[in-house]
Amino acid sequence: MSSFDKIAVCDSKYCSLYDTLTELGYSCVRTRPDAVSITSAMLNSDFSAFAADTGSIGKDELLKVFCFFKNIEHYAPCFIITSEPSAFDEFGFVHCCRREWEFEELLQKYFGHRTASYTKKPSLWTGSQSGLERTVTEIIQKMGVPPNVKGYRYLRSAVMLATEDMTVLDSITKRLYPTVAQTNQTTPTRVERAIRHAITTAWDRQNGDSKFIEDKLHCKISFDGDKPTNSELIALISDCLRLSEYKV
């Protein structure tokens, strides 16, 4: 793989590839999910990979960008990871990764000897999106978040996003809430309020005692107030999922 090859990550759930490539020593840059930004990224020869969340740009618009570059040496992506491979197959890209379990195979194929420095981090789910969703669902249910409130669904989505890409926690209002809102066809403000309501309801059910969350997550916690903020709880659960041996 040359220093000019580009890697296009076309689904936000695969954005952990960005972190892995960075750990392997590749220079990576994230780009905004719009045609102009992605085109600019494709033209930039100073990095070897970029991650583009196509949640808002749309598959068709992304295809137009890739088709423009596909026959231009050093600028076309060397492979695409997507949950909708049929849309990209006909354009002759080198590799189209269809499932998350193909990730290690992809690393071996394209990075060869460099994969020796890659150590798979312990995971609390099977590696599939459905496995992660089940785990997060069980956690928030055991915390007492009622499934009939909108914040239940929004909190689950937020935790899943933060588990897969911890950088979203650096910009809750500009990245995390808008992403959850887009997925659920609502507004970032409503997402924030609904998650806050869900957390408040769960804490009220526990009579303000946060010990229950320690029992569920098997970790010692402390909050500035009587209950965690949205970002504190999301960060706590996602950190436990990424780093601990917790099993629901």
Both 136 and 89 in one domain: the answer is: no
123 or 33, which is more confident: 33
Q: What per-residue confidence (pLDDT) applies to 132?
A: 74
Q: Residue 51 in contact with residue 9, Cβ under 8 Å?
A: yes
Both 177 and 234 in one domain: the answer is: yes
Q: What per-residue confidence (pLDDT) applies to 187?
A: 92
Bridge partners (DSSP) listed for residue 9: 51, 81
pLDDT confidence tier of residue 196, bands split at 50, 70 and 90: very high
Tokens linked to 122:
């312990």
Residue 188 in any domain: the answer is yes
Three-class HEC string of the chain: CCCCCEEEECCHHHCHHHHHHHHCCCCEEECCCCHHHHHHHHHCCCCCEEECCCCCCCHHHHHHHHHHHCCCCCCCEEEEECCCCHHHHCCCCCEEECCHHHHHHHHHHHHHHHHHHCCCCCCCCCCCHHHHHHHHHHHHHHCCCCCCCHHHHHHHHHHHHHHHCHHHHHCHHHHHHHHHHHHCCCCHHHHHHHHHHHHHHHHHHCCCCCHHHHHHHCCCCCCCCCCCCHHHHHHHHHHHHHHCCCCC
**What is the average pLDDT value for the chain, to the nearest integer?**
68
Report which of 15, 2, 7 is spatially closest to residue 163, judged by C-alpha positions: 15
Residue 248 in any domain: the answer is no
Both 30 and 81 in one domain: the answer is: yes
d(CA 101, CA 14): 11
The per-residue pLDDT for range 76-96, each reduced to its tens digit, is 666 666 655 555 555 555 455
Domain range for 26 is 6-117
d(CA 102, CA 96): 10
Q: Residue 27 in contact with residue 46, Cβ under 8 Å?
A: yes
Both 136 and 100 in one domain: the answer is: no
Q: Which one of 117, 141, 165 terminates a domain?
A: 117
Q: Give CA angle at 34 (230, 111), nearest 5°.
A: 85
Both 46 and 88 in one domain: the answer is: yes
Both 167 and 207 in one domain: the answer is: yes
The per-residue pLDDT for range 120-171, each reduced to its tens digit, is 333 333 344 456 777 888 888 888 888 889 999 999 999 988 887 788 888 8
pLDDT confidence tier of residue 194, bands split at 50, 70 and 90: very high
Q: Is the per-residue pLDDT at 17 higher than 50? A: yes
Both 198 and 148 in one domain: the answer is: yes
Both 26 and 110 in one domain: the answer is: yes
Both 109 and 191 in one domain: the answer is: no
Residue 31 burial (CB count, 10 A): 17
Residue 88 burial (CB count, 10 A): 22
The CATH number of the domain where 94 resides is what? 3.40.50
State the burial class of residue 241 (Cβ atoms within 10 Å of its Cβ: 0-12, 13-18, 19+). Answer: buried
116 or 63, which is more confident: 63
* Range with the poorest average pLDDT among 22-26, 48-52, 118-122, 185-189: 118-122
Residue 214 in any domain: the answer is yes
Q: Which one of 82, 117, 152 terminates a domain?
A: 117
d(CA 120, CA 97): 18
Q: Which one of 117, 144, 175 terminates a domain?
A: 117
* Range with the poorest average pLDDT among 25-29, 36-40, 127-131: 127-131
Phi, psi of 80 (to 5 degrees): -125, 135
Both 220 and 188 in one domain: the answer is: yes
Bridge partners (DSSP) listed for residue 30: 51
Both 174 and 225 in one domain: the answer is: yes
Both 146 and 67 in one domain: the answer is: no
Number of domains in the chain: 2
